[in-house]
Structure 1
Amino acid sequence: MLALRLYKTTLCLLLLLFSVIEIKAQENPPVPVQVEVRTSRNLNFGSFTAGNSGGNVSVSYDDQRTVDGDIFELNFGQPVSAALFDVYANPGTIIQIQDMGAYTLENQDTGIQIELFINSFSTGQRTFVTQAPNAQTPNEVFVGGTLRIPSDNSGNLPGTYFGTFTLNFIHQ
């Protein structure tokens, strides 16, 4: 009987002890959001020729080239490819791609210019959520665009055109 009473007293003291002790926990601080973007492949429209009426040459995010107007595809020279950007960010980061408008490409030999419009994203839209399992694995973003070939080109377009375009990758 004495052992039972001692057991009950000890149990009560333990329950009282656990009910009096204040347990505190602090959540981990939020992981800092850092986004790094690296260019892995440039946008390339391949080889084509343009008649006097002009037209458009487009490369989609999945490397498919289409032409309209007085444009004819040539299947030699540089391969057609969408631009590829590797986006490094924490999983679940919301990123918005901001395009800075129309761009000018120039033939450095002749000074002739044509316009480039960025209009095709593998993410489906300009806002996406990163899916890579960690920040060291890239989220691949493929980007395509359209060249607008002027109608009054008088056969002066042959050559190689160079230029740059700017995309801002904004994290939320």
Structure 2
Amino acid sequence: MQNRRLYKNTFLLLLLMFSVFEIKAQEDPPIPIEVEVRTSRNLNFGSFTAGSAGGNVTVSYDDLRTVNGDIVELNFGEPVSAALFDVYANPGTIIQIETLGDYILLNQDTGAEITLTINSFSTGQRTFVTQAASAQTPNEVFIGGTLTIPPDNSGTLPGTYFGNFTLNFIHQ
């Protein structure tokens, strides 16, 4: 009988101990992920001329311009530069850069069009992990691209071209 009473008291004591301790079944929510992207510099292909065979003008993410086809580089006018985006995010955030295909640039005087392809990233690829020490320090992302100049442009090509491209910075 005394053993029974001892077991009963032990059971009640254990039950009381377990009812006092807090048991967590869910971890704290993750740190909120906020990503802000600011344009610091525009993509600029500089000045060049194109013959009737057309060709390509490429600016890499590190500001190097190359041409092929019937294109001649000119060294005056606007400086050549890759686009620069400052990405603000918590350290270690995984970000994927998404483009929406090729883009059309338009000469507002003649209506001529050339194609822009975004294809060069300082991050090495379209997915990267932020490395800045804090969310207040920008992660610099340089982006380059290629202009495709159509052949047989029949003299409608000269002029200044304008256009926009859209990048989506998707965080995971």
Residue 62 of structure 2 is aligned to residue 36 of structure 1: no
Paired residues for 1:135-146 under 5 Å? 135-146=135-146
Q: Which portions of structure 1, spanning 4 or more consecutive aligned residues, are displaced by more than 4 angstroms?
A: 20-28
User: In 1, Cα distance between the equivalents of 2:132 and 2:95?
Assistant: 13
- What letter is aligned with 2:162? F
In the other structure, the counterpart of 1:130 is 130
Mapped partners of 2:151, 2:93: distance in 1: 43
Alignment partners' CA distance in 1, 2:42 and 2:110: 23
Q: Tell me the CA shift for residue 126 of structure 1.
A: 0.3
What is the TM-score of this pair, normalised by structure 1?
A: 0.85
Which residue number corresponds to residue 93 of structure 1? 93
Structure 2: 5+ residue runs without aligned partners?
A: 1-16
- Could you report, residue by residue, the CA deviation over 1:53-83 in whole angstroms, capped at 9, with x for unpaired residues? 0000000000000000000000000000000
Name the residue aligned to 2:11: none
- Residue 61 (str. 1) matches residue 33 (str. 2): no
- Secondary structure of the residue that 1:170 maps to in structure 2? strand
Which secondary structure does the structure 1 equivalent of 2:66 belong to? strand
Q: How many residues end up aligned between the 2 structures?
A: 153
Counterparts of 1:29 and 1:163 in 2: how far apart (Å)? 42
The one-letter amino acid paired with 1:94 is I
Residue deviations 1:62-120 (CA, integer Å, cap 9, x gap): 00000000000000000000000000000000000001000000011111110000000
AA of the residue aligned to 1:155: G
- Matched residue, 1:16: none
CA drift of 1:29 comes to 3.7
Q: Name the residue aligned to 1:170.
A: 170
Alpha-carbon distance in 1 for matches of 2:169, 2:116: 19
Determine what percentage of the aligned residue pairs are the same residue: 78
**How far apart, CA to CA, are the structure 2 residues paired with 1:72 and 1:86?**
32
Tell me how far 1:154 sits from its aligned partner.
Answer: 1.5
**Counterpart residue identity of residue 83, structure 1:** A
For 2:73, the equivalent position in structure 1 comes to: 73
The question of 1:49 aligning with 2:49 is answered: yes
Equivalent-residue separation in structure 1 for 2:101 and 2:85 (angstroms): 18
Structure 1: unaligned runs, 5 residues or longer = 1-19
Note closer, same or farther for the CA distance 1:163–1:135 as it changes in structure 2 (3 Å cut).
same
TM-score, length of structure 2 as denominator length: 0.85
- Please give the alpha-carbon distance, in whole angstroms, between the structure 1 residues aligned to 2:121 and 2:114: 22
